[in-house]
Each structure stands twice: as C-alpha cells, then as structure tokens.
Amino acid sequence: MPTEPLPELAPDFVPFATAALDFHQAINMPVAPVAASRAELDSLHAHVVALYGLLDAHTARTTPVARAEGDHLRACRIRLWQAAEHLHAAFHAAPDPGTGRLPTREACRARRPEGAPELTVCQRHLATATRVRRDHTPADLRDPFTGLTRH
C-alpha cells in the first residue's frame, strides 16, 4: 500500500533567527559593563518563550516515534522554561526606566505587576506558565538532572 508523500516543507527560518540574534549582539551590546534594560530583558523573554513553543511542538511530534530523542527535547524544553523564569525575575529586578530606581525588597516579594507596558512580560509569562504546568510536574521543573545520562 503506497504512502502519501511528505508535504514540501517551508524554508527553515531558524538559521535566520540565529543570525539575527548574532547580528543584534554584534551591533547592540556595549563593550562597557552595563546592565540589561527592561526592554532588552522583555525581548529576550519573548524570544525564549517562542523557542519554548517551538521545542514543545517538536517534542510532541518526536516523542511518539523516537522516545530517547523526545526525552532529550523535553529536558531542553524544561531548561528553557527555567531560563524564562529567570528572565522574568530579572525584568522585575531591573531599575525602573522612568526613575532609574531599583525596586524595593517589599515590591520584589509582592511580585506586583507594574502596569502597561511592563505587564506584557507578565501576561506572556503567565500564558506560557499555564502550558508548562499542564505538561510538567513541579518536580520536573525544579530537578537539576538534565537527563543526559539516562540514555
């Protein structure tokens, strides 16, 4: 019984995204030590969350046919979520662009969103967190084990 041929794939845009990141770093990163701005942290968070979504799709498609490879993709997806968590925390720890003041300890502990446009990073983070909680256990998300010796 003949099988359907695979559809023609669209051009791979991931190398272009990688080149864009390299180009961004080359022209926008100052040589002097300067803290990342909230805008930069927000952009990095958006990028990591988008990459999480791409790996999520690859993991879902790969795991049923290649268990070991899917398991490694799943571990990678978890690490990306951990990176997104740290970027979200760094965003809220960064100085306020209007005043230049650092948030107080009380404000950091309360984890209050500061309103638009700062709320955008929180909305993106919470929307992704819903998917993450559905796909992973709390133990998965806090496990330091990378899975590299499992296979």
SS3 readout for 103-123: CCHHHHHHCCCCCCCCHHHHH
**Tens digit of pLDDT for each residue in 66-104?**
999 998 899 889 889 999 999 998 988 888 777 777 766
How many helices (H) does the chain have, and how many strands (E)? 6, 0
**Tens digit of pLDDT for each residue in 124-145?**
988 999 889 888 888 777 776 6
Q: What is the three-class DSSP state of 61? A: helix
pLDDT value of position 13: 86
pLDDT value of position 140: 78
* Whether the model pTM is above 0.85: no
Across 105-132, b (16+ Cβ under 10 Å) vs e yields: eeeeeeeeebeeebeebbebbeebbeeb
